[in-house]
Amino acid sequence: MKYFSPSPHSSNGGRLNDLKDLSPDELISHVEELEEQLDSLRRRHEIELRRGGGESRSSSSEPFTPTHTHADGYDVVSHQRVAVLIDVQNMYYAARNLYNSKLEFSKLLRFLIRGRQLSRAIAYIVERPGMEQEKFVEVLRRNGYEVRKKILIERSDGSQKGDWDLGIALDAVALSDKVDAVVLVTGDGDFVNLVSFLMNRGVRVEIASFPETTALELIRSCSYYHRLNDKVLLSGAQFQERERTEGEPERTERHEEDDLVRESRGRTPGPRPGRSPVDDLELDDDDDFDL
């Protein structure tokens, strides 16, 4: 049987003449073999993408690294270096609004790493003036997180400034040359451009969030989406909502944060639900979340 093997030095005309010499059965057999080779190359390419991006990021002498399937079907690549960046405020309010509960950050980190190598885990926190969160920060640090804090700025016109979008983007870009995958834990659609930028650099980008509070374009933009649910919540932690009196307007996130500031200054407004990540932990000094 004759086999057509394309050569970089042969002309298109010569290749067509080789094909003409094949019988119909030989041609079919040859096409099937080419399809098998193509499938093999495609599988190899997909695995390289999971590792964080293709030939430009890997050495020709580097051994081929197979994947293994995690319990939930996620393909884990051995020795993959991962950075986890968490938009704490976004995820805190998502868990509260959806489940009336709180995130367990140690459990969340285990779920996202899945046996891979954790290079960095960074939690980004926004604090209002007078809000004390040192206990919450200490819990995060005990469980392997670096903590970035920013004070919320309140302007004279009543507007506020204090998100971490730019800081998260700068850290993600800085880490992109040092890791194979970046996991952004947020539902904020403002990160779509960052996801595209990192993926164009050959970095695998994963998004983790509660789908009900996540921008659809963010889910569509990433390499893999981790669908979070109540399995990453703090067991037994529930908000205790007080009943509103007749005619009292519904409380907003701003009202709750204002109460927290007043309480920190010694003016307690009365019963209220948890107002910030630290208030909701209710941990004893010896409580710990082991990774």
- Phi–psi pair at 105, nearest 5 degrees: -70, -30
Indicate if 77 and 158 belong to the same structural domain: yes
Indicate if 34 and 81 belong to the same structural domain: no
Indicate if 144 and 209 belong to the same structural domain: yes
Tokens linked to 209: 């969030």
Residue 37 belongs to a domain? yes
**Looking at residue 82, what is its pLDDT?**
98
Indicate if 38 and 152 belong to the same structural domain: no
CA angle 234, 239, 244 (to 5 degrees): 170
Indicate if 31 and 103 belong to the same structural domain: no
Q: Which of 117, 70, 91 is nearest to 234 (CA)?
A: 91
**Looking at residue 230, what is its pLDDT?**
94
- Phi–psi pair at 126, nearest 5 degrees: -110, 125
Residue 106 belongs to a domain? yes
Indicate if 41 and 172 belong to the same structural domain: no
Residue 284 belongs to a domain? no
**Looking at residue 182, what is its pLDDT?**
98
Residue 1 belongs to a domain? no
Average pLDDT per 10 consecutive residues for the chain, totaling 291 residues: 46 57 76 73 61 45 54 74 96 95 95 94 88 87 95 70 88 97 97 98 97 97 95 77 54 46 35 42 39 33
Indicate if 79 and 207 belong to the same structural domain: yes
Three-state SS at 281 = helix
We report the CATH number of the domain holding residue 119 as: 3.40.50.1010
Indicate if 78 and 220 belong to the same structural domain: yes
Indicate if 106 and 34 belong to the same structural domain: no
Residue 8 belongs to a domain? no
Q: Which domain holds residue 46?
A: 17-51
Indicate if 81 and 145 belong to the same structural domain: yes
Residue 9 belongs to a domain? no
**Looking at residue 158, what is its pLDDT?**
63
Three-state SS at 82 = strand
**Looking at residue 57, what is its pLDDT?**
47
Residue 247 belongs to a domain? no
Q: How far apart are CA 55 and CA 202, in angstroms?
A: 9
**Which residue, of 182, 202, 232, is where some domain finishes?**
232
**Looking at residue 88, what is its pLDDT?**
95
When divided into structural domains, the chain yields a total of 2
pTM beyond cutoff 0.75: no
Indicate if 32 and 96 belong to the same structural domain: no
Residue 290 belongs to a domain? no
- Inter-helix orientation angle 165-175/192-200, to 10°: 10
Q: How far apart are CA 88 and CA 229, in angstroms?
A: 16
Indicate if 104 and 37 belong to the same structural domain: no
